[in-house]
Structure 1
Amino acid sequence: MKPYKACSCRDQETKRLLGKKCPELSKKGHGGWYARYEAPKSADGKRRQPRIGPFDTERECKAELGKMLGTAANPKAHDERKTTLGQYLERRYTWRKSEAETGEGLKKSTLDAEREAIDLYLSPGLGHIKLVDLDDEHIRELYAAMRKINRAEERTEILRRLQEVRATRDGKRLHSRPISESRIRRVHAVLHGALTDASKLSKIRPDNPADGVWRSKGGKRKQGRAKPLLWTAERVEQWEKTGVVPAKVMVWTSDQCGAFLDFAEASEERLYPAFHLDAYYGPRRGELVGAEEQDLSLERRRLHVLQSQSDDELDDTKTEAGYRQIPLDDETVRVLKVWHKRKLRERFQWGEAYQDAGRVFCYEDGTALKPEYLSSRFRILIERYGNIRAKAAEKWSTERIARKFRTTEAAVEVALRLVLPPIRFHDLRHGAATMLIAAGVDDKFVSEVLGHSSVSFTKDVYAVVAEEMAEDATSKISAFIPRQNRVAAVGANSVPSGGGK
């Protein structure tokens, strides 16, 4: 088992390899270092003494010999020493898929996400490396290359392979934005799980090289997802007495949502169209702010959700399922047409100072909205709504209240007809999901519109509160939110079918 030096020189007369007997071995750079070790006997009982090498130095040979001796007692590890990571990933995926088909394994959405991680990143990046040779540096190199995707940086060999795969995947357009850290974490989870299985189940290698590559930030233990509660009459009454909101996630009834939208429109709130779209179809805040004009087709009545904005940077959608299109009803199309005309007027008024960011929703000068600004405007409207009702309780006249809050008398009249309890801006999304389900829209369609990873997730989170709301919902999409001075026309063109896209 001791390392030795040998070469491939041959005897000039016999033509036999000289191996360890070559007289030139003492010279620097001549030959290489080898070693043999005792491996488990073959299936027919024969002795096996595999040779490893050549290595440039004795130290390298000893290090590799140590690794081999660490797994030599395991016949499977020896038999699998030429298995590549790509081969093992495929084998493992086949096992997991067969388990899912029996109803005992992973959900289809989880398997699809794993398949994508393998096809787009792990196989092209590291699939050619032998499983026993994979180390933490290989893994870090893959993640570094992923961070360079869609960035104007020098292309490495691993980056070239990743980009070639993305350019041809199923003929579909893939995100043109840089890969987010959350997506790299999801790929890491797949790789870490596979290497854990290779170590603890398959016994191919003694350790998991992915351990410690991505350290958790620690902190509080993650709690379960908070499910929404409906602002029923009883809960509203208790909130008026105590000021305590029953739960973190609260959802308006259809009447309350309609009152808010009527108030925002009557108040001549500039971003009313964004609130309308969110209340009806529930895109995430970042998706609203990141939506580009080229992704909105009012003629085809579709909004394509292709990206999201977090803080000041555009990113891909929260999940792959978030990459979707939303069908629009007649009323929403009308609202967005009015919004488009308003933006044209603002462009004319600003003239050369106008900075067109190409977004559906923007500031008056055309620049891209900050996500928090949308939430801020939402909070201001709800606070104004409550303040108007407070002044009305003090016997202020409608005209005086309108002057006080610099709003219209129509907005004051809307606020006086119904109590509006508080919710967060993100809860408009929860409300849209709840009302769509309560209105009888197909669960699969609702899941696709919202960009959820699975139908079961949609039903699990929203089914209970939707049942609570069901009595108030008598028709679908645009008709299920009651609006002031409007007659909802329910027709074939205004109701997207559950099959949808």
Structure 2
Amino acid sequence: MPRRSSPPSGRARGSIEPRPKGRLRVTVYAGIDPVTGKRYYLREDIAAGPRAWREAEDTKSLLLAEVAAKRTPRTNATIDQLLERYLDQFSGSPTTLDLYRTHIRNHITPVLGHLRVGQLDAEILDSFYGELLRCRAHCKGRRRVDHITEDAHECGERCRPHQCKPLAPTTVRHIHFILSGAYKKAVRWRWLAVSPMAQAEPPPAPTPKPRPPTAAEAARIVTESWRDPDWGAYIWTSMTVGARRGEMCGIHVSAVDLEPGREMLWLQKAIRREPGAGWTEAGLKTHQERRIALDQETVAVLRAQLQRCRARAAALGLELRPDAYLFSSSPDGSTFWTPDSVSQRYDRMVTRLGIDTTIHKLRHYTATELIAAGVDPRTVAGRLGHSGGGTTTLKAYSAWVSEADQRAAKGLGAGMPSRPVEMDDMEQVRSDPRYPYQRVAAAVARDVDEGHLAAGDPAPAAPTLVERHGVSLATAKRSLVLLTEWGTLVRHNGGPLVVAEQRREPTPVRPAVEPPSSPSPAPPQADARLLTLSLRHRGQDIATFSTMADPTNAIALHKILAGAVRRTGGDDQAIGDYEMDVQLAGGAEPLLTFVTSPWTE
């Protein structure tokens, strides 16, 4: 039998303890556990063998080096214990905290909660994320039944065989953020030296696909909402201000300033649901109040809303206090509309209209219209309450804008050179022949066009073409066939080839371009300015939009009006029933009211 090596003499840090069946256990003191307050030891077992003591010494040296470099975890705490400590110090909103606890309870604790903090690595995380994207119930491929309740019951039709449903990639990313925040704290507390989250690969963020209502859909939504003036004022203000639904529900009467020169809306509070407290008034999402300038139409809408609120309160002998809510079901404005009820009412309305949209997309509509009007992204981000200098606004909220895209296309087209006249195959060959038989045929066709050969004259014989153009007899015959295909030559009742009667205009030999008198795309108007245009049909407001145009150019205004009529679902043949207020962007009063007729040129 091989002789087992003996332990080296002398005192060393740490210990190596013999275990049954020749195994050895290496133990190294690593400090005080910050969670339990007890002494924390690193232990590792070595298999029996002739080199067991040497391997144990190497392992002990390695563990001592890790302890000295503080690369080893200082705790036996589990991931559940880490998350509990992390959430105890969480400084976010109660709603976010409640969401985090739900994700931890449903997904992290059942799979990872029992692991020690130092056991988590990139391989485990990738496997964890893959399992969540496969099945949100963590079935691990086992057959099971999804019961209607966890209590004792008799299974019926509602207890069905389990079908795997993946967790949304966005939710998996939220779980990744929870673990990342907890491990960042763990590194800061020196529970471990390096966070494994840096090597994890959560699902990529979904590509933003904003789909705001079109101009025609927005007009229908506003028209339908105005059946109830309060509801119409809410929808109109949401579209022009771009506030979140909770921010709109939390507007107080004192937050509306309609004094001339100071027209603005001061967003200070928002209505949101707090865990255990229900709907309540709280700070804004970004914890930063916003003052939003108002256009004249919105000023008129809000002034009428305030008048209705005061009239309802006065009818019951009540006073509308400054802290009353602007949108309220109580005569004195003491209660607020809840965001969920607003969403449900909006969903019912757009369903009746056959429009697939949500109330949040009104913010998309606001961002899109402002960017299309030429407003810089930082200003748009400030109105919407975004941080990051407009990055979020451009990435997630501004949709493709047809009017802006059309202006870009016109600007590009104005700088392009005149394009050649499109020609068919015959004209292309006659203007630029490439082969000898084509050159011969083009020469004969030119003689016909110039009158050297009249209709009914005998066609040139093939030997004549050979002598005149220096080509072979086969080439000359092929050119006559081509002239026949063009209709330049014709054979009547099996007789000889003669010149046919020509019914087209002569074709120039060189490539033709449009004559100088042909109108080229008009260059951008020198006096074009950013205009705000309001469309009305028989006195009823239809849409408000912005574009670049010359307010003194009647033809340009006519084209804009006709396009707006078509976009809002109208008939441009009845354009005489429409009128359009023309106003400088940011101006107080319209410059003019433009009317036209179907025959305006």
Q: Give the helix-richer structure, 1 or 2.
A: 1
Structure showing greater radius of gyration is 2
Q: Give the strand-richer structure, 1 or 2.
A: 2
TM-score (norm: length of structure 2): 0.40
TM-score (norm: length of structure 1): 0.46
Structure showing greater relative contact order (alpha-carbon pairs closer than 8 Å, 6 or more residues apart):
1
